[in-house]
Amino acid sequence: MEKSLAQRTVRLADVAKAAGVSQGTASNVFSRPHLVREEVRDRVQATAKSLGYRGPDLRGRLLRAGKVNAIGVAATEPLSYFFADPFARVLMSSIAEACDTNGAGLALVSALSEERLAWNVDTALVDGLILVCIEGGARLIELARERRLPFVALVLGGNDQSIPAVGIDNFSAALMAARHIGELGHRRVAILSLHNRVDDVKAADYADTRERLRGYLAGLSQAGIDTDSVAVRPTLNDPARTRTALAEIFATGQPPTAILAMSDLVALTAIDWLKARGLRVPEDVSVIGFDGIAEAETSSPPLTTIVQPIAEIGRRAVTMILGDEEGRRRELLDVELAIRGSTARAPGQA
């Protein structure tokens, strides 16, 4: 037996039937009311209200039109990440500005919950997706491909040339940073990683962490440092976890004279932690970061760091989505090593 209207979702066809008009006329009442006589319009609207009809399905209308004029940004991070993290704030500001310039909307797609990940990506009302592939990049890319919408990944850590991407060469950038530490004569070095478990880092797909770790270790090895002696501790880019990692590292009898951090946020946290314990930066411990956020230039001392073009990455991603640049599938942007006051020669070396 067919459910009553009270037991199922009221459709436009139900309103048309109850109001004694065609479905086309009922549709015009909600989408093109000027085409319908006032008395008919009033009757249809009154009928819709009495039945509890809320109006046409906006999603269906937009999807039928083929375009919604909006870009989605997805990451397997809490949505608060886009507002709390300095790197993410610069990235999102540049994406928003590029969307404004092109008259496009912007939607944040929550991909934190594994249970709702596929649903959130599949139902997002967007024309394309920018994937911030910090962790879980492979799954995000898989879902974006299934959605059959243009997408751009913001990490170039993998070798799959079919993945549209814009970003930097994290391996080469990290190699540059580690070589700088080696040239300064440091031999006891620690790495503050982003990833939760170091053993996962080496197997992670499309992850900044894996490539930066490979680059750091390669650069230290070139300097003659035994990489098995290098302490690597996870931080999840979180200040509290960073402080815990530092406490573990400096509890040893031979603490490091240099720290390679995988983000500026971690590096700046490390500087504060060291100074609070009476250790001088860079006289006792050199610290180098990664990203090039504004806070790195104004810290005390100013942070030596790998500067990546964060804003340009965001702008290019929007251009690739809206311009549907099939011929430019992957774009690699340059970085620079900004040598500032947080790094110096190893203690005891002239």
Are 348 and 185 spatial neighbours (Cβ–Cβ below 8 Å)?
A: no
Higher pLDDT, 143 or 172: 172
Confidence of residue 325 (pLDDT cuts 50, 70, 90): low
Q: Which amino acid is at 37?
A: R
Confidence of residue 61 (pLDDT cuts 50, 70, 90): low
Q: To the nearest whole percent, how much of the chain has pLDDT over 70?
A: 85
- Please determine whether the domains at 68-167 and 170-309+334-338 fall in the same fold group of CATH: yes
Backbone phi, psi, residue 132, to 5°: -90, 90
3-state secondary structure of 261: strand
Answer whether CATH 3.40.50.2300 is correct for domain 68-167. yes
Q: Is the pLDDT of residue 14 over 80?
A: yes
Give the span between the Cα atoms of 104 and 90, in whole angstroms: 19
273 Cβ partners below 8 Å, 6+ apart?
242, 243, 246
Instruction: Please state, rounded to an integer, the average pLDDT across all residues of the chain.
Output: 86
Give the span between the Cα atoms of 340 and 54, in whole angstroms: 60
Q: Which CATH superfamily is domain 170-309+334-338 in?
A: Response regulator (3.40.50.2300)
**Residue 258 region, left (φ>0) first, then alpha (ψ -120 to 50), else beta?**
beta
Are 347 and 284 spatial neighbours (Cβ–Cβ below 8 Å)?
A: yes
Q: Is the pLDDT of residue 197 over 60?
A: no
The whole-number pLDDT of residue 268 equals 98
Mean of pLDDT values over 9-30 = 89
Where in the chain are the domains?
1-51, 68-167, 170-309+334-338
Predicted confidence (pLDDT) per residue in 279-320, tens digit? 999 999 999 999 999 999 999 999 999 999 999 999 999 999
Confidence of residue 203 (pLDDT cuts 50, 70, 90): very low
pTM for the full predicted model:
0.78
The CATH number of the structural domain formed by 1-51 is 1.10.260
Burial class, 156, CB count within 10 angstroms (exposed 0-12 / middle 13-18 / buried 19+): buried
Mean of pLDDT values over 61-72 = 70
The whole-number pLDDT of residue 261 equals 98
